[in-house]
Amino acid sequence: MIRYDAGDTIAAIATPIGESGIGIVRISGKSALSIADKIFVSKNGRRPSSFKAYTTHYGWIIDSRASKRNYTIHNTQYTRQEIIDEVILTVMRAPKSYTKEDIVEINCHAGIVALGRVLDLVLESGVRLAQPGEFTKRAFLNGRIDLAQAEAVLDIIRAKTDSALKIGIEQLKGALSDEINSARIALIEILSVLETNIDFPEEEIGSVNPKEIQKDLDNINRKLKNILDNSKFARIFREGINLVIAGSPNVGKSSFLNALLKQERSIVTPIPGTTRDTIEEVIDIRGIPVRIVDTAGIIEPKDLVEKKAVQRSKRYVDLADLVILLFDGSKRLSQEDELLIRKLRKRPTLAVINKIDLRQKIDRQKILRRFNPVIDISAKKLKNIDLFEETLANLVYNGKVRSGEPIWVSNLRHIEAIKNAQGFINQAVNALESKWSLEFIAQDIKDALGYLDDILGARFSEDLLDKIFSDFCIGK
């Protein structure tokens, strides 16, 4: 990867490309204001370099390289072609900005031509196009946020539910960082005691009390364990679960999907096999992002199209985190139902009996012997859909609803680092119990500290930063 000078002034379009009301070109770096002076003409004639921080100004973006004639703004003649766009320009001065550098944001009309011409003009004025995530990377390198907070920015951008958004915001505010830093400080205090005794073994300077140190290490490990215990829930909020609706033909899978979506997404007819392909949607169920798939309800394919549909349905079932096995309560169990019951007996499955608004003929006891719980619904009448959502959420949370405001950690890099830190802390405890030399114990604690430093970015490699920020969009 090309390495650029961190002192370069950078620019990028910070909003999605397309037709909309506003599009933003963001400039950050030591030359941001001088570049703005070259291309922006304000209504009152003042230059951006004279503007106060956190102020916005109305004016025009001007290409001054064109010939000047026939058009006047503040006693300066321009051609109409020289006026690229009518804009609002915002100034944020270092160090009180997102990157801790001077930032200029040009709020343009969001057409692709207008935005593109403004960005081209900025780049041709001596600014470099930003790399993916480089604005946030500079916020980290300049000390405004730590690495865990920087990664939370991407979590906020990608949040699919309110719960995922809340987790991202809490991490951006520093909730996780505070907990990790608290553990770091406690480890540093233990390390200082050990190293003092290593360096001055004959002096009476704070002699080592193995029981006290072990107690402190156990407390630190407990803190880290609490963070990890919540991580599986946070990853669910961040990444969601894959849910597949399976069942025999005409049991109401498409109606059930429409009921969950609260709109008609699937075609519903009384003709068995109407759904001949998988239909995917992402929905929010009790704060959990759920990627839900309605599969083709065909057991014995009659042609090549149906064969392909069956193959795809089986593939989705095999990859699902949870299968919803739907039955028609108004009919007796069919051979297809029996086949699916046997096929899914070892898969995470929630049994749902549909069409409870009709006279019931299904053998409920046979289903109850294989699955627990079993939910009764009417997709057509929208009956017990809330009960299904509540049951699904309880299954995801393993029946436990967490109280309070736990520290959520959803990033796999953080989870692995915490686990590695715990491993070295456990080694230190074992070394204490075995009465090993203090040098070995101190080294274990240093290694544990290193992994906690990795989370916050107190130590990092360029390759790690490249990997983290390459997932960001260019304008962030």
CATH number, residue 181: 1.20.120.430
The number of angstroms, rounded, from the C-alpha of 43 to the middle of its chain's C-alpha atoms is: 41
Beta strands in 260-347 (DSSP E): 279-285, 288-294, 322-328
Residue with tokens 């407990």: 222
Are residue 171 and residue 224 in the same domain, yes or no?
Answer: yes
Are residue 391 and residue 249 in the same domain, yes or no?
Answer: yes
Supply φ then ψ for residue 191, to 5 degrees.
Answer: -60, -40
The pLDDT, as a whole number, for residue 307 is 56
The reported pTM is 0.73
Helix, strand, coil percentages, rounded to 5, for the chain: 45, 15, 35
Can you list the alpha helix ranges (DSSP code H) found in 42-111?
none
The number of angstroms, rounded, from the C-alpha of 65 to the middle of its chain's C-alpha atoms is: 44
Contact 417, 457 (CB under 8 A): no
Task: Give the burial class of 113: count Cβ atoms within 10 A of its Cβ; 0-12 exposed, 13-18 middle, 19 or more buried.
Answer: exposed
The pLDDT, as a whole number, for residue 203 is 56
Regions in the chain scoring below 70 on pLDDT: 1-4, 65-81, 200-207, 232-233, 235, 263-278, 296-313, 398-408, 410
471 within some domain: no
The pLDDT, as a whole number, for residue 403 is 36
The pLDDT, as a whole number, for residue 302 is 52
168 within some domain: yes
Supply φ then ψ for residue 188, to 5 degrees.
Answer: -60, -40
How confident is the model over 298-309, as pLDDT tens digits?
555 555 545 555
Are residue 258 and residue 392 in the same domain, yes or no?
Answer: yes
22 within some domain: yes
* DSSP letter assigned to residue 280: E
The number of angstroms, rounded, from the C-alpha of 280 to the middle of its chain's C-alpha atoms is: 20
Output the CA–CA distances (angstroms, integers) from residue 466 to 12, 359, 413, 445, in the order listed: 18, 62, 14, 28
Structural domain that includes position 131 = 10-146
Tokens of 356: 């409870």
The pLDDT, as a whole number, for residue 162 is 79
The pLDDT, as a whole number, for residue 313 is 65
Residue 40 sits in a domain whose CATH number is 3.30.1360.120
Give me the sign of the Cα torsion angle 194, 196, 202, 208: negative
* Number of domains within the chain: 3
Residue 272 sits in a domain whose CATH number is 3.40.50.300
Residue with tokens 């503007």: 51
The pLDDT, as a whole number, for residue 357 is 93
Are residue 384 and residue 449 in the same domain, yes or no?
Answer: no
The pLDDT, as a whole number, for residue 73 is 58
The pLDDT, as a whole number, for residue 207 is 67
User: Rounded to whole angstroms, how far apart are CA atoms 115 and 84?
Assistant: 9
Contact 33, 49 (CB under 8 A): yes
Are residue 253 and residue 374 in the same domain, yes or no?
Answer: yes
The pLDDT, as a whole number, for residue 157 is 87
The pLDDT, as a whole number, for residue 148 is 93
The radius of gyration computed from the CA coordinates of the chain, to the nearest angstrom, equals: 30
How confident is the model over 351-398, as pLDDT tens digits?
999 999 999 999 988 999 888 889 999 999 999 999 999 998 888 876
Are residue 245 and residue 386 in the same domain, yes or no?
Answer: yes
